[in-house]
Amino acid sequence: MSPNEFILPNWPAPNKIKAFSTTRLGGISLPPYDQLNLGLGTGDDPIHVQQNRKILAEKLHLPESPLWMIQTHSNIAVDTSPSSASPITADARYSNQLKQVCVVQTADCLPLLVCNQQGSEVAAIHAGWRGLATGIIENTLQFFTTSTKDLLVWLGPAIGPSKFEVGKEVKAAFCNNNSENLQAFSPLGNDKYLASIYQLATIQLHKLGITQIYGGNFCTFSEEGYFFSYRRNKVTGRMASLIWINA
């Protein structure tokens, strides 16, 4: 396994917590989905996507099939159970069960991986700006029985603050009710702004009592050789961020 194919979060999670983010490298999909596209519904050949998912499972030695979701940029978070393996519509998943692989797909949106210091609870969150503005993080953390001061969060590959151009409606969604979010926006003129999705997430995490925050130093838009980017290419694949509790 090439060190460039998968990203291992640099965070002090317990040893039994397993977490990874994929890059676009190591799969069989053809352009513009090259190579490790894990997203069905992107326009890619579904046979290639399923083969890529098989490659993912083999290379990461996944204990079970990932709990893939149908993501809609919502603020819906769900708990897992042995009967919830089939795809459901949600944008975050929580588990306190061994071997259940929580997974989210992204191609510019922010993936957050969460665990507690005891290694008994995990979650994966897909935070586009809409979900972030409407409480996807808070809705996910409500499942945790651990105090937020004992939670660790890793911010995976997302669009960087120098490339995420948004309109005034996005700024208003974050700043009308929380002026602290203003620091995450830089004006470009003509009611356009550069926004830091990493900073917006960090502000929310701090407000929820979480200070152990790691990652947040990627740019899916700029690093074309490693990451898919919807903003850059429109037609493109999806990366995955996964987390589970090892046996």
Where are the chain's structural domains? 6-158+214-245
Instruction: Note the pLDDT of residue 4.
Output: 78
Write down the residue that tokens 């979900």 correspond to: 131
Collapsed DSSP state (helix, strand, coil) of residue 92: strand
For the record, the structure tokens of 77 come out as 């978070």
- Alpha carbons 37 and 128: distance in angstroms, whole number: 19
Contact predicate 157/189, CB 8 Å: no
What is this structure's pTM?
0.95
Separation of alpha carbons 74 and 91, rounded Å: 6
Predicted local distance difference test score (pLDDT) of residue 85: 57
CATH number, domain 6-158+214-245, options 3.60.140.10, 3.80.30.20, 2.60.40.420, 3.40.50.150: 3.60.140.10
pLDDT < 50: residue spans in the chain: 1-2
- Strand positions, DSSP E, 1-79: 6-7, 17-22, 69-70, 77-79
Strand ranges in 90-155 using DSSP code E only, listed in sequence order: 92-95, 102-106, 110-116, 122-127, 151-155
Q: What residues contact residue 223 under an 8 Å CB cut-off, 6+ apart?
A: 157
Calpha distance 239→213 (Å, rounded): 21
- Token pair 């676009």: residue: 24
- Name residue 128's amino acid: G
Cis check for the bond before 32: say yes or no (omega within 30 of 0).
yes
Contacts of residue 106, defined as CB under 8 A and 6 or more positions apart, other chains included, come to 126, 156, 157, 158, 220, 238, 239, 240, 241
24 contacts: CB under 8 Å, gap ≥ 6: 34, 35, 36, 37, 225, 226, 227, 228, 237, 239
